[in-house]
Each structure stands twice: as C-alpha cells, then as structure tokens.
Chain A
Amino acid sequence: MLTHLRPAISLTVLFTLLTGVAYPLAMTGIAQLAFPAAANGSLIERDGTVIGSALIAQPFAGAAWLHPRPSASDWNAAGTGASNLGPTSAALIVAVAERRATWEAENGAAAPIDAVTMSGSGLDPDISPATALAQADRIAAARGADPAAIRALIEGAVQGRTLGLYGEPSVNVLLTNIALDEAFPMAPAGN
C-alpha cells in the first residue's frame, strides 16, 4: 500500500491541475472568445438592463402575455426543483385538475397537457404550439390586436423538430413575448 502512496498522491495532484484547473479554465477562455453570449447564459438586455435569459422561463401573469408552464419552484433560477409527484399521487391529480380549471377559464379553450403539468426544471422556457395558440385570443383582446395576426406571429415562432426527427415542436415564451410587445405594443407603453 505504501509503495502506491507516492503515485497516488502525485497523480491526484497532477489530475487536479490538469482536469480541475487547466481544462475548465481553457474551456472558459475558448468559450468566452468564440461564443460569449451563449457561454454567459444567453442573457437578453433591453435598455442596458438584463431582462432575463432566453433559455430560462420567467413568470408571466398579465393577460397580454403568453404564459409559461407552471413551475414547482416558482421560476426560481437559483434553486430549481420539480414537483416529483408520482403518477398515482392524489396531490398531483388534484393539482392538475385545479390548474386545468383555472387555465381553461382564463383562455376559453381546452388545456393541452403541457399547460397543466410542471416541467422537470421548473424553468422550462417552452410551451407546445397548441398551448401557445390557445392563448392567442386572450392576448389579442388585451392588446387590442387582430387575433389572426397574433396567431400568425406565434406560428412564426414555432421551433420544429431537430433534423425533422427529434424533440417536440415548441414556442419560447420569453422570446415570443418580446416579439409580441414589439409588434403589438400595449396602449400605455406604445402611445
């Protein structure tokens, strides 16, 4: 055992320097030079302030906005979490039924499954195209805009499957809301 101690300690030090210091620092350096926006969290700035990250859901409650999926961690991006409720959990079944009632009352349409279930991260930036389109009439009414125009904007924002095979079509809530605000400004803000 003792004869192994020197290589054990020396190699631990060597690998700590190589894989624990040099490797992450080199990756940081290259990533910061090559794609700084992505490597710093895909932050979105407006008038010099950070308003969020394109990858991270934030809460939207107003009638004029697309709403994200419900979040178990209340959109806390510094302490994430899911419901982790099992499929036969009464708490899950009751909670989903309540969310469905609220959602359908708000939007006057049947709620797709992603609109009433919590994501794994609590920060899912996306909703399904069906969930987005079902909110179009409410948004149009709140913004005094043509529902067809809102729907067209949402359809343009749908990201399809990768290579046509993988993943599910989705709509990024924050980016689409920013686009909505530019195309259909609300009366007080847009004069």
Chain B
Amino acid sequence: MTLLAYAVYFAVLVGLAWALAAWMARVYTRTLPAPLLRVEGALLQLCGAAPDRSMGWTAYALAVLAFNAVGFLLLYAILRAQGALALNPDGIGGMAPDLAFNTAVSFVTNTNWQAYSGEAQLSYLSQMAGLTVQNFVSAGTGMAVAVAVIRGFVAAKGSALGNFWVDLTRSVLWVLLPISIILALFLAWQGVPQTLQGAVTATGVEGQEQIIARGPAAAQIAIKQLGTNGGGFFGVNSAHPFENPTIASNLAQSLAILLIPVAFCFLFGRMAGDRRQGRAIFAAMAVMFLAGLAVIHAYEVTGNPAIGIGANMEGKEQRFGAMLSSLWAASTTAASNGSVNAMHDSFMPLSGLVMLINMAVGEVIFGGVGAGFYGILLYVVLAVFLAGLMVGRTPEYLGRKIEGREVTLAVLAFLSMPLGILVGGAIAATVPAALASVQDSGPHGLSEILYAYSSATGNNGSAFGGWGAALPWQTTALGIVMLLGRYAIIVPLLAIAGSMVRKPQAPVTSGTFPTHGPLFVILLILTVVILGALTFFPVLALGPIAEETARLAGQSF
C-alpha cells in the first residue's frame, strides 16, 4: 500500500516534470507563441534591457549580481520601514537591522531561512511586495543561471551564454507565474487564506478567546513551493493548518517542491540534443533521493520507543502522519526548499542525518530551481575528471575537454560548502555569543548547529526549530554564509560555462567515455557521496550518529 502510494506519487511527478521540460525548452529557445514574445520584448525594451544583446560569462555574472543587489536593498528598506507603510492591519513595527539583513539576504539568495515569525513580525506589504517578489525573482535568477550554464556546455563553439534579463523575465513570466496562479487558487480552495483582512478574534466553544492570524497566504505559498523558496507565511510554515489545510493541499505542495528541479534534468537533455544525458543525471539524483527517503520513512514510521508505541508523532500533524511528513522532509531538504510540514528537530537521529547530508552535499539531489542543476554539473565535471584520471585520457563531457581551469573552478565552488558548514559551524559551536542558540544538550545540540549552517550555506532555509535563530550573532553569520553558498557557486560555475563554450566539440568516438549509461550514473553518485558526504562524515559522527548510538543504549539528555 505504501509502495503503491509512493509509486503513484513519483509517476505523477515525473510525468508533470517531463511535460514542463518540453515547455521550458520552448521558453528558453525563443520558440514561444508570437504574442508572448511580443509581450516580453516590449517589457524588456521598456526596462532598457537590450534583449538582443548576448552576454559572455562576466557580463552575465555582473547582471546577476546587480539585479540581486538592487533586490536586496529594496527588500531591506521595506522590512525596516514596514511599520510606517501601508497594508499593516495588525500594526506590526519595523524590523531590527540585523534581522532585516538576515531576512533580505535569505530571500534574495532563495534560502528563505526564517529567523522571524511571519504572523508576528511582517506586515502584509512586506509579505507581498517584499517577500513574494523575491520568491519569484530569486527562483528566476537560479533558473536563468542554470540555463546559461547549460548553454555553456551545449552551445556551439564561441557562442555567448544568453541574456540574463531575457532568461530571468521568461522564467518568471512563462514558467513561475502561470503555475503559481493555478496552485494559489487550488490552495485557496482547499482552505489557505487569501484575504487582506487582519486577524479575527474568535470566542471558542468553551468561552475562551482565540486570535486567529490570517492574510494573503495562498499566493505566497504557491510560489514558495514552486520556486523552492520555502519561507512560510506563518511561523510554523506548512505544518500550519492555514498553510497546508488538507492532504490534497499537502500533495500539491509536495509535487510543486520537486517539479521544476526534476524538469531541469529533462530540459538539460533536450538542450543538449541528447535526452539520455538528462535522464542519466535524473537517475543519479533519483537513486540518492529514494535512498534517503527510505531511511527517513523507516525511522519515522517505526517511531520513538522512548515516548511510546507508534509512529514518531512529536512535531507532526495527525492528517499527514509519518509517511507524508517523511516524503516532505526528504523533498524539502533535497530540493533546497526549506519549507516544513513537520518539525525536523523532533525527527529521529538518522532521519536528521539524511536531511543534513541532503543539504551538505550542496543541494544537488534535485536541489533548488536551477541551483540544483548547476550544482550537480559541478559534480559532473569532477566525476568526468576522476574517470579521466582512472583511464588515463583527457576527460570529456558532451564532446568538450574538461581541463585544469574547469576542475580548479569546480573545486573552488565546491569548497564553499565545507567553508560555510564546517568553519561557520565550528565558530558557532565555540563562541559563547553563538552557543546560546542551542536548545538540546548532548549530540542533538551539535546537530542543531550543523543543521542551521548546512541549511544556510545550501540555501535551503529549513531549521531545527528549537535552535535560536534570532540571536544577532546568528542572523549576521548565517546571512554571510548564505551569500557564500549562493554567489561563491554561481560565479565559478558561470566561469566554467564561459570556458567550456570556447572549446571545440569533438565528435564521439569509440574511446569516448559515455556519460549517459549506468556506469556514469554510478560514478556520479559515488562522486557526490565521496566528495560531498565524506567531507562532513567526521562531524556527522559527533552529531546524529552519536545521538543514535546513545539512543540505542537507552540514554537521554
């Protein structure tokens, strides 16, 4: 029964992603219907974006940085000033500088880490004109960069990478917005509030008063899932009955989390003119995803004997139970989404281990929209390089040689993960000003720190909720590692793309290592496991693994 439920779910997911990839291929190659092209052309002209001008990798990277810098400044200003601005029926004041910095960075980098509680600290204007906008454009930025990087690998020698403004606008107008509209209306129908009225005061059946926060939530939740943003309208995210009222709303949101990341695999195959290439990467991601899901599912269904018989229901909603909570936990950490429908802090230790690995390998198991795909290309470069070393030939990918420059850049980009997680985490584990954030004692406390820094560096945004994210140390340090995890990967990858596109495409010969077969899939998985997971193994042994052994010995903390 459970297997059937999962099988149907994944069949629907892959089917939808396959269809979406066909549409996205038209979107990014300018074979859209003429009226749509005229609309986007007019808008881009109006914005002075010169849509016909192609960009090399440096111009593309500078455009990304300029756009994100403007977005950051605007969002920071809105958050600071929200108390004096419109659409604030609950009279919420301006945000403190460090929290506004953290929040603005978080939403611009597609992390959507929340050190605040939405219903208590954000006006409706901040939610709509501030956060919802970045939900769209940070996702659009990731998609644009991924498309540019793909072009670098597949386009004819000497081509440019495309035009950032065009790619961004297309991602938002023709992919994110239409699907968000459908999803938002579906969610509102299921019971997610979409109203500009403020909180309502109810007099309960037994006479007690209850203030019920509401707001224009459905519109934001749709793009929060679709854009792998994950920042909730309410503090407890998609565990809140208003964010995720029914099992149907839960399934729709779950599918939306993985939809675009899966579609990117198939889009890659189409753009490369060899769909097997996309399917191979999809297969590697799917194997890693399902392995992690199986672990989480098994532990959560079995539950925690220390608190009673039955599934581990601490931090979970009754209607979702262990299965839908496990599916969500695996999806949201693999896909760099970061929304939750159950509290990750209360998951079993090895479920937490899987979630940590999903994030720490760099969010490449499907990963964030666009970000997951350009992230896995980094591992592809390294995998092909390793294969080349083993057989003693110059490594090639899609007919292009992978040389010293690309490998150096890939390693440089890869290093941002251990830098953010291990260095950032180590400082947070030693400085007294940061240690106050830790809630649980024992190894679980270390897991809380690791989770926060993995989530921020991987631009995921989910949290072990008991951990105090609002301390000024953490808002600042996590803001910095979020920037590192975003731009110290985007810039080197665009540089790799710029370097690849200058190389000639050699024809396939009998000596070419095929990158579409099972051997390559296994090699890619091993590269992710060896490079990604083993980098973090020592510290994971001190956190979740130590906690599990202590638990089995009947110890509590």
A positions within 8 Å CB-CB of B: 1, 4-12, 14-16, 18-21, 23-24, 26-28, 30-32, 34-35, 38-43, 49-62, 65, 69, 75-90, 92-93, 96-97, 100, 111-114, 116-128, 159, 161-162, 165-168, 170, 174, 177-178, 181
Contacts and interface: CB of A to CB of B under 8 A. Distances in A.
A60 B465 contact: no
Interface of B: 1, 4-5, 8-9, 43-44, 46-50, 59, 62-63, 65-67, 69-71, 74, 117, 119-120, 128-130, 132-133, 135-137, 165, 168-169, 172, 177, 180-181, 184-185, 188-197, 199-206, 208, 210-214, 216, 218-220, 223, 234-236, 239-242, 245-248, 250-251, 303-304, 306-321, 323-324, 340-343, 345-349, 439-440, 442-444, 447, 464-466, 547, 550-551, 555-557
Nearest to B90: A78
A42 B100 CA distance: 32
17 contacts: A8-B70, A14-B46, A24-B216, A31-B194, A52-B212, A58-B204, A69-B318, A82-B343, A84-B343, A84-B345, A88-B306, A117-B316, A119-B317, A123-B240, A162-B247, A166-B247, A167-B321
Contacts of A87: 304, 306, 312, 314, 346-349, 444, 547, 551
B231 to A, nearest CB: 14
B319 to A, nearest CB: 5
Given A82-B236, A162-B251, A93 B307 contact: yes
Contacts of B250: 166-167
A27 B205 contact: no
B551 A167 contact: no
Contact of A58 (B180, B185, B208, B464): B208
A36 B392 CA distance: 67
A92 B205 contact: no
Most A CB within 10 A of own CB, among B197, B320, B551:
B320
A128 B107 CA distance: 37
B315 A83 contact: yes
A102 to B, nearest CB: 14
Contacts of A49: 202-203
A58 B202 contact: yes
A23 to B, nearest CB: 6
Contacts of B245: 42, 55
A41 B119 CA distance: 14
A110 to B, nearest CB: 9
Contacts of B199: 78
Given A23-B177, A120-B340, 11 more contacts: A4-B59, A4-B62, A19-B223, A27-B188, A28-B196, A58-B208, A75-B210, A77-B210, A88-B555, A96-B307, A167-B250
A39 B318 contact: no
Given A1-B62, A51-B203, A27 B185 contact: yes
A80 B223 CA distance: 22
Nearest to A62: B206
B239 A120 contact: yes
Contacts of B202: 43, 49-53, 58
A36 to B, nearest CB: 9
B134 to A, nearest CB: 9
Given A40-B193, A41-B193, A177-B205, A120 B235 contact: no
Given A4-B67, A11-B49, A39 B319 contact: no
Contacts of B5: 165-166
B236 A86 contact: no
B195 A28 contact: yes
